[in-house]
Amino acid sequence: MAEGIEVVERNRKARFEFDIEETLEAGLVLEGSEVKSVRQGKASLDGAYCKVDREGEMKIHGMYVKPYEEAGPFGHEPRRTRKLLMHGREIQKWGEKSEREGYTIVPLELYFRDGWAKLKIGLAKGRQKHDKRQAIKEREMERQMEQTKREYNL
């Protein structure tokens, strides 16, 4: 883990469901109660995705942030759409690829870098069922090789 980075949530399912071709770090616009809830680790990226809207802004949809109990009635909506902070040319490039070439923009990690909320997003292409099976086979073979190495290095 690099200095100044505090990982809150990883989307492990995304690396299994998709082939990630490119990654990018984006800032995340959060309300005060959301920041406190995320710092406590009460956020989930399951089922979340990113999309460019009509105004040309990249937004994350479906990210869950548990309401902060201390905020009372002034809290936030758990699954609201949140804006991502990126350069305009990056938004345009990724938006075009996701529309034309059949890519999806998926969130991979939610973390704090030097106190600022960041989201690592990936340009991904969906895997077929046989590709997923192949990934499982490779992972199992890797595990067996590591176990064999440990047994012989006793």
The CATH number assigned to the domain holding 93 equals 2.40.280.10
**To the nearest 10°, the Cα dihedral for 75, 81, 82, 85?**
-170
**1 pLDDT exceeds 60?**
no
Kindly report the average pLDDT of the chain as a whole number. 85
Structural domain includes residue 89: yes
User: Which pLDDT tens digit goes with each residue over 10-69?
Assistant: 888 887 778 788 899 999 998 888 888 888 888 888 888 888 888 889 999 989 888 887
Adjacent-strand bridge partners of 85: 27
Do 126 and 17 touch, CB atoms closer than 8 A?
yes
Number of domains into which the chain is organized: 1
Q: Which domain holds residue 66?
A: 5-127
Structural domain includes residue 151: no
Structural domain includes residue 138: no
Structural domain includes residue 143: no
Residue 84: both structure tokens together: 């991502």
Residue ranges of alpha helices (H) inside 1-154 are 12-17, 32-39, 88-100, 129-152
Do 8 and 112 touch, CB atoms closer than 8 A?
yes
Structural domain includes residue 146: no
Structural domain includes residue 98: yes
Q: What is the mean pLDDT of residues 65-80?
A: 79
Structural domain includes residue 58: yes
Structural domain includes residue 120: yes
DSSP state at residue 72: G
Most confident of 36-40, 82-86, 125-129: 82-86
Measured CA to CA, the distance from residue 27 to residue 60 in angstroms comes to: 11
* Of the candidates 28, 18, 1, the residue with the CA atom closest to the CA atom of residue 119: 28
